[in-house]
Structure 1
Amino acid sequence: MKSEYDFSKAEKGKFYHPDAKFHYPIYLEPDVEDFLTKIAQQKNIDVQVLVNEWLRSNIKLIQSIE
């Protein structure tokens, strides 16, 4: 890595996109990942779909008791 960088010819905001959506990676513990992968394979769906379904169900459950 250089000790200094020259940004005198840089273009401000060149890579800025106000409508950009960011996806945050979620890392599962190996035992949880194995469990979810098996269920997703049985249902023939992607693990991400399964996790989102389960999270939505939990959100509804929590909202119903608030």
Structure 2
Amino acid sequence: MNHCEGDHCVTCSDEAVRVTVVRLLGDDLAETDVGGGRTEEVSVALVDVSVGDVILVHAKEAIGVVS
């Protein structure tokens, strides 16, 4: 069974990126701090997140919350 472990997605060999949730936008979207003073909108439909959470994002989809 393929699944994601840590920062690496074995299903497609790409790495997930750690970002911080700065604002929940509704419609299962969140604005995230991607570093360097930049933000990016990502889907959080698959995870339960709050502002301030660090999440793993792959292909603009949150795939996990970093504990």
The answer, yes or no, to whether TM exceeds 0.5 is: no
**Of Structure 1 and Structure 2, which has the larger fraction of its residues in strand?**
2
With normalisation by structure 2, the TM-score equals 0.18
With normalisation by structure 1, the TM-score equals 0.19
The higher-RCO structure (CA 8 Å, 6+ apart) is 2
